[in-house]
Structure 1
């Protein structure tokens, strides 16, 4: 084993060829993530609508359980990242973890196209198992392209985040066209084509990384003589055996799943703290700061991730989508967030640079992100209480702008969070720390499903049920965002100069 691996010191970074001011492999990882996100977001908009139509006969009573399944699925996708990060850190390396995860995810995406509820959930469980290996490790690879203190790291993560959103923008539009205009109709979408197209996108991601990984050199590979084919087969067996576990967790009530996720989160916090204490006072304080921010990350995603659940039902039932004798497809709302990210990301990045020494600290950026999320819910409150027409509909522009406002909040939080984790996590557990970031996101997503089920009520979403829930969401978000903004200096002190 190499000295770097033994001592926990970071391995030296190769001299990469620079393309547009960044290491060349960044652009390969950009496209790999583009196609993986195409697959992920290709099914995201359709899941709850499909569950209600296919397994509940289109009845409003199916909305609450569909939202809970959706939230649980997203939660487990992110929670699985803990194991994926650990496996990459300690067993087979990042490159092999990404490849194996892509294979498993592809299989799961094709499985959910089969219109049987049991096979559907097994397919979702398989996607979860594969994504756990893929998602945290490709993000960690981006961080490994830059030396500690390299000022391009944040902008590199922002560019990578644009790749995520480019795939997320195209996926709902293309899969929506396939389901409505090519293989189905607006009245009876053909969701099977959505899931198949997403599976093909995942295969493209796999092939892209398989050929592009040569650019990485030794980055992300296991130490010499470690992580051979035998270990890869053991990890594959672990993935296969984990599928029934994820299936069971999808099947139980979301409230019970929340207990499981909370225990996992507390265990992860303990492991990161132990490693931080082992590395010394600075590493300890940074680990504490990171875990505090993880907690606020849960709050953000609980309300942000209404897009695939309650906002879907809001768009379907309560938003006036008719324009020029044409009905704006429900799924296309999912692309608004990504379009806003692609458009606004350079502006936000330029703003941080332009502010210079007045650039907000990482905790304050998180606080701003949560406040913007709250402002989106304030707009929904105004629309549902004062803009409902005689047909019981709110204007199209209101939901459109909700996605835009949330996107500003996301830009203040999510790409910064990825970069922050690579800076604050204990050196020997960076992948595991990234898994913690995704687990906190997953906990928020499971809570989002529970919240969305309340927004729909027992018989389906109404103006009154949506307004009551979104008012509650606004209050919680504003309290959380303002509180984080106020305590930010204390958290920044624990970060010991990390910016």
Structure 2
């Protein structure tokens, strides 16, 4: 399709005529780079956060692993929960472009605050990042969709290119931040973790600058509605974020992880009940679709609970129990965080081709979710075997085992994650599609907080050992395998409830 203006059905707004680069609207590449630097910032701190918390706030004592894992899990959970409010702010108050810019400023400020030696200021920095992420992350993804008419065949390809920006940023971030912390400003034995947060903050500033100068390419897409162009609304959003959002998320970060879990579950139950009520109102077909959606959300929680060990318990495992020695060279701990992105970039096109090639044998949505659980469980089975029969005389397991855990989990992610958002839009009642999407993000948030709680249990009060890791990961395997089997068994029932949705 050419770059001529066209109508987007259901929106009534014309798509501007864009210059085309490599067959796609020019603004796509600007959004690609803005997201690249934001993901660089987000994933750049992932490997270092729990290690820094233990080293800085617990004097390196292994007993700090449990609270570090719980704080990390709460942070991830609230990043997803906070994103629910971003759409409202962008739609009703300041427009998409301004939401992205304000969110980028909040995130940059929060990342630089993480360098503080005070845990209170560190937690305040995390709360600031959460506010900024809610204004930035869901909005920039939506902007990509606004570059194409609804029927434009290039839309999926455009999102694929954008998704590559996410994964390339995530792939290189741990490598660069690790070099800064361990080779330039610190050593392997004494990393200068503050430079991880400084470089992530710089990355976020680059994202801000890139979007600031590139937003003119959007030709009005994402601007505030007529009559709402004044700066007063921006001041109001910044004020609410600073006076309400940051203190709220700071409080949620610092309460007991179990209490946070109750709060997240309560937040999930309210819209879930509203979705069911709307389903009953619309008729038995809509009711059944909502029931199918909520059943799958439960399994989604379990998937992310174990998948998100990557930034917590797997980091401690790599640091203490994995043999990373190759002669005179040691595989950098932080490089494990890049394996997921490399695997996604490698396997995503293969699996996309495979689903198409399978034709009528292509698994249903519930069974793809089941496959995601099985692959996640297979990764834990590998760890279970390694920790029971591959431990060497130094108390270490082979390097390849943890490396393959990240690869296997990535395959599971590709079975489950890409179809989650699409499934939600297809099964949700039309009047509450946004609320259904909020439930999807809340299910991930609940899983992420549970991930922190589980990682804390794996480490225990005295820090991770071979025995504690084996016990925890054995539980993970059986939980995932059991859930996968159950989902495969009830898949025909769920498919019936979905009424033909594929």
Normalising to structure 2: TM-score of the pair? 0.91
Q: Would you say 1:417 and 2:420 are equivalent positions?
A: yes
Q: Would you say 1:400 and 2:406 are equivalent positions?
A: no
**1:302 aligned residue (293, 301, 305):** 305
Q: Would you say 1:189 and 2:177 are equivalent positions?
A: no
Residue 483 of structure 1 is matched in structure 2 by 486
What does 1:255-274 correspond to in 2, within 5 Å?
255-273=258-276
User: Aligned partners of 1:21 and 1:353: how far apart in 2?
Assistant: 23
Structure 1 residues 149, 486: CA separation in 2 closer, same or farther (over 3 Å shift)? farther
Q: How large is the RMSD of aligned CA atoms in angstroms?
A: 2.5
Residue 195 of structure 1: how far off its partner (Å) = 0.2
Q: Would you say 1:378 and 2:381 are equivalent positions?
A: yes
Q: How many residues align?
A: 492
Residue 341 of structure 2 is matched in structure 1 by 338
**2:456 aligned residue (447, 453, 456):** 453
Residue 5 of structure 1 is matched in structure 2 by none
1:273–1:287 CA contact under 8 A, matched in 2: yes
1:84–1:435 CA contact under 8 A, matched in 2: no
Structure 1 residues 419, 162: CA separation in 2 closer, same or farther (over 3 Å shift)? farther
User: Aligned partners of 1:89 and 1:234: how far apart in 2?
Assistant: 15
Residue 356 of structure 2 is matched in structure 1 by 353
1:157–1:418 CA contact under 8 A, matched in 2: no
Structure 1 residues 157, 177: CA separation in 2 closer, same or farther (over 3 Å shift)? same
What does 1:90-489 correspond to in 2, within 5 Å?
90-146=92-148, 148=150, 153-226=155-228, 228-240=230-242, 241-273=244-276, 286-425=289-428, 432-489=435-492
Residue 214 of structure 1: how far off its partner (Å) = 3.5
Deviation larger for 441-450 or 424-433: 424-433
Q: Which runs of 5+ in 2 are unaligned?
A: 1-8
Deviation larger for 194-203 or 217-226: 217-226
1:92–1:226 CA contact under 8 A, matched in 2: yes
Structure 1 residues 19, 427: CA separation in 2 closer, same or farther (over 3 Å shift)? farther
Deviation larger for 16-25 or 85-94: 16-25
Residue 227 of structure 1: how far off its partner (Å) = 6.7
Deviations along 1:18-72, whole A, 9 cap, x unmatched?
5555554443332222111110111111010000000111111111111011111
User: Aligned partners of 2:428 and 2:142: how far apart in 1?
Assistant: 11
Residue 431 of structure 1: how far off its partner (Å) = 5.0
User: Aligned partners of 1:391 and 1:291: how far apart in 2?
Assistant: 46
Residue 77 of structure 2 is matched in structure 1 by 75
Structure 1 residues 352, 415: CA separation in 2 closer, same or farther (over 3 Å shift)? same
User: Aligned partners of 1:217 and 1:487: how far apart in 2?
Assistant: 49
Residue 176 of structure 1: how far off its partner (Å) = 0.3
Structure 1 residues 494, 153: CA separation in 2 closer, same or farther (over 3 Å shift)? farther
User: Aligned partners of 1:238 and 1:498: how far apart in 2?
Assistant: 40
2:379–2:405 CA contact under 8 A, matched in 1: yes
1:76–1:128 CA contact under 8 A, matched in 2: yes
SS at match of 1:80: helix
Structure 1 residues 445, 194: CA separation in 2 closer, same or farther (over 3 Å shift)? same
User: Aligned partners of 2:490 and 2:218: how far apart in 1?
Assistant: 40
Normalising to structure 1: TM-score of the pair? 0.91
Residue 233 of structure 1: how far off its partner (Å) = 2.1
Residue 13 of structure 1: how far off its partner (Å) = 5.7
Structure 1 residues 172, 221: CA separation in 2 closer, same or farther (over 3 Å shift)? same
1:157–1:415 CA contact under 8 A, matched in 2: no
SS at match of 1:458: coil
Q: Would you say 1:58 and 2:60 are equivalent positions?
A: yes
User: Aligned partners of 1:85 and 1:275: how far apart in 2?
Assistant: 21
SS at match of 1:193: helix
User: Aligned partners of 1:370 and 1:16: how far apart in 2?
Assistant: 44
Residue 360 of structure 1: how far off its partner (Å) = 2.5
- The structure showing larger relative contact order (alpha-carbon pairs under 8 Å, at least 6 residues apart) is 1
SS at match of 1:202: helix
SS at match of 1:224: coil
1:301–1:444 CA contact under 8 A, matched in 2: yes
Deviation larger for 24-33 or 474-483: 24-33
Residue 276 of structure 1: how far off its partner (Å) = 5.8
Residue 14 of structure 1 is matched in structure 2 by 15
Structure 1 residues 286, 26: CA separation in 2 closer, same or farther (over 3 Å shift)? farther
2:15–2:148 CA contact under 8 A, matched in 1: no
2:16–2:219 CA contact under 8 A, matched in 1: no
SS at match of 1:44: coil
Deviation larger for 219-228 or 66-75: 219-228
Structure 1 residues 96, 278: CA separation in 2 closer, same or farther (over 3 Å shift)? farther
User: Aligned partners of 1:225 and 1:362: how far apart in 2?
Assistant: 44
Deviation larger for 256-265 or 275-284: 275-284
